[in-house]
Structures are given as structure tokens and as C-alpha cells.
Structure 1
Amino acid sequence: MSDLFYQTITPTTHDLGDFKVRRALPGRPRTMVGPFIFVDQFGPADLDIGSGMDVRPHPHINLATVTWLFEGAIDHRDSIGSFSTIRPGTVNLMTAGTGIVHSERSPQDERDRGPKLYGMQTWLALPDGQEEIAPAFEAISDLPVVEDDCAKAVVIMGELWGKRAATTTHAETIYAEIVLAGGGSLPIDAGADERAVMLVGGEASLDGEALELYTLYVLKPGEAMTLTSQTGGRAMLLGGEAFATQRHVWWNFVSSDRERINHAKEQWQSGAFPKVPGDEEEYIPLPDVPKTVSYP
């Protein structure tokens, strides 16, 4: 491993038939980078006409979900009555807090022409004292952009390159999409406690070290670096403040308290969570053995 990187994480790939999902966090090597406790990259994929993504209603507690698309569209519905069609350039932030249920499905117009799926799904653990805040939702498209002739970065959350996104942050968070043309470069700020970079398309390197596609590179704290590309590439920068207390993950539940997770399991099985208006007929049952778990 290069001296530039504190840790290199190869994601677990789940082949869902029409598209692949690559899960970098949580895993045995590491559970969090800043507040990010779940990092999925999916696509790129072109689905058949008439098909689509259908993630049935399911619950969350004590976290916030962040959806960011490079291509395609997803209809979001949740139990506090929110509806949003997620498209590239708009960040969807859903804060679960005490508990929320949501679904994610391909819009009908996407199904009619054959949906594209390419983007990121991440979860942020809520900090101490804020895990049980009220559920909330926001979709923000007026995001800061830093660009020159060969580089463009969208600040999705937090402050980077002197610009701050309007997106709510419960803990100190940085999150950005970086697109480089051939010969492009961009400095990677060194201010956050913990930072990681994932190349999600094309080719790029950090201070001359080539990045493998979809690998999550956890960067050494405090070291300024430069991301460059010879032929063009797309990368995600994520991180923020290091958490002093441990977070546990079981299925879609995140909490500092294992008993809180057990209570959420019981609530979902008993039907105590609220329904999603407009998507009330289906739901995902509580799994016996979830694919997403923490490793204390």
C-alpha cells in the first residue's frame, strides 16, 4: 500500500442481475470514515425497457441517508409524506432520527425508455445527542461548483475549496463529486479528521499513485494531495469528523445503543413503524441474516 493511503478498502460486490452494487462500508477492515458508516456505489447500468429499480418500503433509525446520482432518476417516498424525484445534480438527504420508512423506485418515464442507474447511496451516523432527532427530508440542487477548463467539483455537503453547501450537516461532513477532463487536476483539502476517495469512473491518480476503480482509499490525516487524470475520470471525496463513540449497524438500523436496534427490529416486525403514503402495499421483511452488519 502506498505511503499516501492510511487504508485501502476493496468493496464487496453484489450482483443484482440488472446492475451491480459495490459496498465499501461497513466491513471488517473499517466501519466508518468520518460520519459515513455505509458507502454503496451502483452502476453504471442500462436496464431493459419496462424494468426498473424497486426498493420496497423499509425502515431506518439514528442515521441520515444521502442519495447522489450521476445518471438516471429515482422516485423517493417516505413516511413523513416526502416525495422527490432524484436526478443528477440534486442531493437527497433523509434524516431518520427516531425512525422513518422510505421506498426508492424508478419513475415511469425512466421505465418507458429503459432506466439508467449510476450513483452513490451513503449513510451518515448521527452524532451523540442527535441520534433521536425528528425525521426530516430535503432535496437541494443549488450546490456550489468549483471548476476550471479541465476540472469540476460539486460540493454536496460541508465546506470544500472555500465553498459551503446548503445541505444540512449534523456532524462535520465533507462530500463532493469531482469530474476531471484529460489533463485536469484538483487539490484535495486536508482539513477533515478523516477523508477517503473513490474513483467511480475513468482514470485518476493521487500524487502520482494510480487509483483502482471502485476501491475506497482512506487518506492519511492532514496531508494535502492532488487528484489528477490523464484521460478523464470521476471520483467521490467523503469524510468529516471522527466519532469518539462506536456505532453499531444491523440491516438498515444504526445506533450507538444495541438495545435501540433490537427495539427497532421488534417495531418493524410488529408493524409499529409508519406507512409510506402512496406506497403502502409492499414492504421488505426483517431479514434473519442481514447483508449489512457492523464488526465491533
Structure 2
Amino acid sequence: MTNLEARPQEQVCAAGSEPAAVELIEPRDVPLGGPRAMTVRRTLPSQQRSLIGAFCFADHYGPDDISVSGGMDVAPHPHTGLQTVTWLFEGHVLHRDALGSVQTIEPGQLNLMTAGDGICHSEEGTLARFPDQGRLHGVQLWTALPGTARAGERAFEHVRDVPTFEVDGALVRVFMGSLGGATSPARAYSPLVAAQIDIPAGATVRLPVDPAFEHGVLLDSGELTVAGTPVAEAWLAYLAPGREEILLEAGDTPVRAVLMGGTPFEEEVLMWWNFVGRTHEEVLTARAQWQAAIAGEAEGVARFGRVTGYDGAPLPAPELPQVRLKPRSRLERPRSR
């Protein structure tokens, strides 16, 4: 998906000192388009935390009645320096990109697009595209590519069957990285993990994890306590490195959650709109070249390509301020419990 904020802030993302306790990150609502647009709940980046491992962006949406909201209709838009990780719980989304990929995403299937130095894509989950679709529900995560890969070739992967395992009655679907002896076939460029975890009501799960990783647990539905800390639906619980297991306790209703994590990302990352770079000038260049691509200019098209088959114009980049954008720091000390 895309960041449709009219005035996206430039932000420096960097690893820092971490609290030992569980940190809770509250989601903020972000509309994903026009007046009938669906709303996503964003927990990364936040004022408290900008990165969990290489994960630099987390949008959570649904269950959304697309007959009311209009569903997801995101026109062609660019990305640089990242991977988009799309994972659905319910519904369908049609992905098109500049590589010529045309892929319907279904629940339990991973859609992974690697931007490298530049790519563009569109995403559609509407009644016009899927007349029998009632609801749309899922997450999209972004991972920041390390310096060795961020200027590389664009790529696309669709994984229909991800590895699964059970632990203490919970079903774990590993769609990125490795966990519990299960390894996703999807390509990752730094040590990381992403998984869906389904826990029966009343169950206590001791999930084995890599102690070198920091982790986030995003609660989709149900009543969940993470390492002794209650987590509200749509909130993200952060845990610092050093744990060999994460204690997950379900309440009176079954739980569905998404785990994300990885080794702390040591490179400084500068994010603005849909661009992940390292410097202010790099982001300004990416914006200018995307605008050139929209205009059909060769330099811009060479970097980002074109999406064919989408009925509509590409998304223009937001306007930049007339002064140099100042990066945001990690801001306030994270709230811990």
C-alpha cells in the first residue's frame, strides 16, 4: 500500500537503547484514499518507535465491509529501498507492478515485493474487482533494505503455502524468516521474522524466539496478554532483545496476532512518503524522478517502470516544504509497563 498522508514527515529511523519491559504502541487511524476510503491502523512508524528489526512500517486493516467503505483501491505509486509484505486474513487484493506481475492475493498467502532502487505497483480490493467479496482484513508491513540490497534489482514473490508449526496448542504460520524450526521460502535481506499466531481461548503459549531479535506482537483479535502485559486489539506490544521465549496468554476468546521482529537495524533509515533512503537529497531525487515517471519522462520511467492494466492515473507525490525537512528523532521515551 501507500502512505497517503498529505504532509508526510521526514523521519530518521535508528536502533537505540531499549527498555526491558513490554512497551505498548497505540495505533493511529489513517484513511487510505478518498471520502469512502477504508481506514488503516498504523503502529509503525510511531512517536515511540520507528523500527522493529528491519520492519519500518505496519498497517493493519479490517475486518472492513467493502460495500460500505469502498474497499482498497490504491493507484500506481512508487517505493524505494524497501520490501512490501502483504498478508491477508480475509478477502482478496489484486496486485499489479512494474515487473508485469498480476497476482490475486488470498488469505494465508504471502505477497512480497522488493523495491530495490525503485518500483511502482497498484492494489485493488473492491467490489468492482471482486464482486463476491464481503470483507477485507489483513496487514501490510514494510522492511527496510540494508545498504547491500537497497539499490538492487526490483523483484516480486508470491508464496502460496507458508510453513506452519504448533506450539502449546497454537498454530503458527511463518511467512517471513525463521521461527520454531520453520523457515519461509521468501527472500529476506536481514535476519528477521514475521508470523501469524492463532491461539485457542484460555491457552498459554511459550513461543521460542531468537534472543538476538527484538519483537513486536500486533493483536488482531481476541484477548491477549504478552509477557504479563495486557494488549488491546490493534495495539502493538514491543519486546527488546534478550528473550528466548515470549509468553502469550489468551483470555476467554481465541486470539489472532502477528509477530514481527529481527536483529536491531543498525543503519540509519530516512523515510518520507513511500521512499526509504538514507539522506534528504536521496529522497528529494526519488520524488522528482517519480513525478518524471508520471509525466512519461524516460529517466523516471527507467527507475520506477509503469503499471499496466490499472484503470486510473498514478498517485502524484505530496508537495515538499520550501525548506529543508528536519528528520524526527526517536522523540519521547517509550511508554513501558
TM-score, reference length from structure 1:
0.91
1:226-245 paired onto structure 2 within 5 Å: 226-230=247-251, 231-245=253-267
| Aligned mates of 1:220, 1:34 — CA distance in 2 | 10
Structure 1 residue 268 displacement after superposition? 1.0
Are 2:309 and 1:278 equivalent residues in the alignment?
Answer: yes
Pick from 182, 188, 193: which aligns with 2:213?
193
Pick from 210, 235, 238: which aligns with 1:215?
235
| Aligned mates of 1:279, 1:98 — CA distance in 2 | 23
1:9-24 paired onto structure 2 within 5 Å: 9-15=25-31, 17=36, 19-24=38-43
User: Given residue 319 of structure 2, which amino acid in structure 1 is its aligned partner?
Assistant: D
Per the alignment, residue 55 of structure 1 pairs with 74
Are 2:225 and 1:205 equivalent residues in the alignment?
Answer: yes
- 1:49–1:111: 8 Å Cα contact kept in structure 2? no
| Aligned mates of 1:221, 1:10 — CA distance in 2 | 21
| Aligned mates of 1:14, 1:289 — CA distance in 2 | 20
Pick from 213, 222, 225: which aligns with 2:246?
225
Identity %: 38
| Aligned mates of 2:64, 2:127 — CA distance in 1 | 17
1:150-182 deviations in Å (ceiling 9; x for gaps): 421101111101111111111111100001111
Pick from 169, 182, 188: which aligns with 2:188?
169
Call closer, same or farther: CA 1:148–1:15 in 2, change over 3 Å: same
| Aligned mates of 2:279, 2:30 — CA distance in 1 | 28
- Name the Cα RMSD after superposition: 2.3
In structure 2, runs of 5+ residues without a counterpart are 1-18, 294-299, 330-337
- In structure 1, the residue corresponding to 2:58 is in which secondary structure? strand
Per the alignment, residue 262 of structure 1 pairs with 284
Call closer, same or farther: CA 1:49–1:12 in 2, change over 3 Å: closer
Call closer, same or farther: CA 1:15–1:60 in 2, change over 3 Å: closer
- 1:41–1:121: 8 Å Cα contact kept in structure 2? yes
Per the alignment, residue 123 of structure 2 pairs with 104
| Aligned mates of 1:289, 1:28 — CA distance in 2 | 21
1:105-159 deviations in Å (ceiling 9; x for gaps): 0266764234411100111000122110100000002211112684211011111
Structure 1 residue 44 displacement after superposition? 1.1
Call closer, same or farther: CA 1:27–1:149 in 2, change over 3 Å: closer
Bigger RCO (CA 8 Å, 6+ sep): 2
User: Given residue 270 of structure 1, which amino acid in structure 2 is its aligned partner?
Assistant: A
- In structure 2, the residue corresponding to 1:237 is in which secondary structure? strand
- In structure 1, the residue corresponding to 2:282 is in which secondary structure? helix
1:91-130 paired onto structure 2 within 5 Å: 91-106=110-125, 111-130=130-149
- In structure 2, the residue corresponding to 1:113 is in which secondary structure? coil
| Aligned mates of 1:263, 1:18 — CA distance in 2 | 30
Structure 1 residue 91 displacement after superposition? 0.5
| Aligned mates of 1:294, 1:82 — CA distance in 2 | 34
| Aligned mates of 2:283, 2:151 — CA distance in 1 | 12
- 2:45–2:56: 8 Å Cα contact kept in structure 1? yes
TM-score, reference length from structure 2:
0.81
Pick from 64, 69, 85: which aligns with 2:83?
64
| Aligned mates of 2:158, 2:317 — CA distance in 1 | 28
Structure 1 residue 198 displacement after superposition? 1.1
1:232-281 deviations in Å (ceiling 9; x for gaps): 11111101021212101110000123322111100011121321021274
Are 2:171 and 1:152 equivalent residues in the alignment?
Answer: yes
- 1:203–1:234: 8 Å Cα contact kept in structure 2? no
Per the alignment, residue 250 of structure 1 pairs with 272
- In structure 1, the residue corresponding to 2:67 is in which secondary structure? coil
- 1:97–1:131: 8 Å Cα contact kept in structure 2? yes
Aligned residues: 292
| Aligned mates of 1:67, 1:15 — CA distance in 2 | 18
Greater alpha carbon shift after TM alignment, 78-87 vs 212-221 = 212-221
1:3-57 deviations in Å (ceiling 9; x for gaps): 641x221121125545321111112211110000001101111121894321000
1:177-199 deviations in Å (ceiling 9; x for gaps): 00111122332334142111111
| Aligned mates of 2:102, 2:290 — CA distance in 1 | 22
